[in-house]
Amino acid sequence: MKRSRINEIMSAAGDMIHEFGFTLPPFAYWTPEEFKARKDDARHVIDARCGWDITDYGAGRYDEMGLFLFTLRNGLLADLQRGGGMCYAEKLLISRQDQLSPMHTHALKAEDIINRGGATLVVELFGSDDNGNFAEEKGGTVWLDGIRHEYRPGEKLRLAPGESVTLRPGDWHAFWGEGGDVLIGEVSTVNDDETDNIFREPIGRFANVEEDEAPKHLLVSDYRSWLG
């Protein structure tokens, strides 16, 4: 993705988030230079990879297959592994109309996916085989606003604003906006986007960035190269 396109998406996403009454934390608006100057104080933000995340899954077709995310808060895997401390994460996502977030699951993360506003959020579900692999013929169990729901393989949940689904490891899922764009909340156990996204198809998690202009704000995938 071109950096200029990423900058445009950031601006549009910020407008939509504000439209629905959410305000991002102050570090969201730091310039790259401010982030460099404050990187010691912001060490947890960097280590936990909080912040802007815009991906086309390395496919170069963001409008058809992509996702906007902002990680608001995140714990560390070490806390989760020892069973204490900051074992949770929270994100805001934007799924554009008919923009696919492709079929995937997580080995560790359980998550609530919440329609925070906009159009309908479609979540397509499949279960796993005994080894956790995608199983086209299997369904499973999720919770819709806390109510148990047995899903059929390939079932498409349609979540209106305010509705949510709880997914556990092994629930394979894809999602997109239907009838318009959707602001999504995600509340989960510790989030590790580098190792805990298991895609059905061999795709990447992060975008390959073409630096055609300076970044407006850093992406989480920029931290290693920009901040060390």
Alpha carbon distances (Å) from 116 to 62, 92, 162, 176, 220: 22, 9, 6, 14, 23
**Per-residue pLDDT band at 146 (split at 50, 70, 90):** very high
Domains detected in the chain? 3-227 (2.60.120.10)
The pair of structure tokens assigned to 45 is: 């933000």
Q: Place 96 in a pLDDT band, splitting at 50, 70 and 90.
A: very high
What does the alpha-carbon distance between residue 158 and residue 125 come to, in Å, rounded to a whole number?
11
Check residue 5 and give its pLDDT: 97
Q: What is the pLDDT of residues 54-68, one digit of tens each?
A: 999 999 999 999 999
Q: Give the pLDDT of residue 155.
A: 98
* Helical H segments across the chain, by residue range: 3-19, 32-37, 43-47, 77-82, 223-227
Per-residue confidence (pLDDT) for residue 217, from 0 to 100: 97
CA 197/CA 116 separation, integer angstroms:
23
Q: For the chain, what is the mean pLDDT?
A: 96
| Residue range 210-223, pLDDT digits in tens | 999 999 999 999 99
List, for residues 152-180, the tens digit of each pLDDT value.
Answer: 999 999 999 999 999 999 999 999 999 99
Given a contact cutoff of 8 angstroms between Cβ atoms, the answer to whether 207 and 1 are in contact is yes
Answer yes or no: is pLDDT of 204 > 90: no
Which residue's entry shows tokens 């460099």? 36
Measure the CA–CA gap between 175 and 156, rounded to whole angstroms: 9
pLDDT digits (tens, 9 = 90+) for 28-59: 999 999 999 999 999 999 999 999 999 999 99
Q: What is the mean pLDDT of residues 122-151?
A: 97
* pLDDT for 228 beyond 80: no
DSSP structural state of residue 228: -
Residue type, 111: E
Distance CA(214)–CA(216), nearest Å, equals 6
What string of DSSP letters covers 100-147? Answer: BEEEEE-SS--EEEEEEEEEEEEEEEEEE-TTS-EETT--EEEEETTE
Q: State the average pLDDT over residues 11-20.
A: 96
